[in-house]
Amino acid sequence: MKLGGEKKNVTVMMTDLRGFTGMGEKLPPEKVVSLLNNYLQTMTAVILRYKGTIDHFIGDAIVVVFGAPVSRRDDAKRAVACAIEMQLAMDSVNKWNRENDLPVLEMGIGLNSGDAIVGNIGSEQRSQYDVIGSTVNLASRIESYTIGGQVFISEKTMEDIGDILKIGGKIEVLPKGMRKPITIYEVRGIGGEF
């Protein structure tokens, strides 16, 4: 695999399960892996349906990019529609969990749009396709403000999508590493072809 990268305009999605670390310490390892694999399998199917690229899994977190390696004019719209469907898919995840005597899960999702560096990063011995930069960092910060079941987006993502979003509210936050507060928006729905 050839190392190298390029700058692309993308929408980055970060997800995280609420309270998973503590939950994982209380359950037997085989139950933790079973619960996590069912969750990741369900979310992966939704992400691929919306043509997202799974950058990587970090334990129970998922990093997804829309706009790389292939860019489409509706990347931000598909990313938000995907996030909404992922939250809806948590119903089937939790139904399976209850049937298997496992805890109910809640997921938060944050999205941000902007330029990022994408490409094959690593060494000649081991590399991976990755997305890096402040756009990714801010998506992670936005996700950290969610509670279970929420989808928060940046102002840039909202501008990229337009008026087809149903917004449940907005809050002003000062993410770590930022000099000025930013406004993030809670998404409750999306119109158009989605």
Gap between the Cα atoms of 148 and 16, Å rounded = 9
Q: What is the pLDDT of residues 52-80, one digit of tens each?
A: 999 999 999 999 999 999 999 999 999 99
Q: What is the pLDDT of residues 15-60, one digit of tens each?
A: 999 989 888 899 999 999 999 999 999 999 999 999 999 999 999 9
Beta bridge partners of 56: 63
Percent of the chain that is helix, strand, coil (3-state, to 5)? 35, 35, 25
Question: For the domain that residue 19 is a member of, what is the CATH number?
Answer: 3.30.70.1230
pLDDT number for residue 148: 82
pLDDT number for residue 1: 55
What is the domain extent for residue 74? 4-190
Gap between the Cα atoms of 101 and 121, Å rounded = 40
Residue type, 69: P
pLDDT number for residue 2: 65
Q: How many domains does the chain have?
A: 1
pLDDT number for residue 192: 83
Q: What is the pLDDT of residues 92-146, one digit of tens each?
A: 999 999 999 999 999 999 999 999 999 999 998 898 999 999 999 999 999 999 9
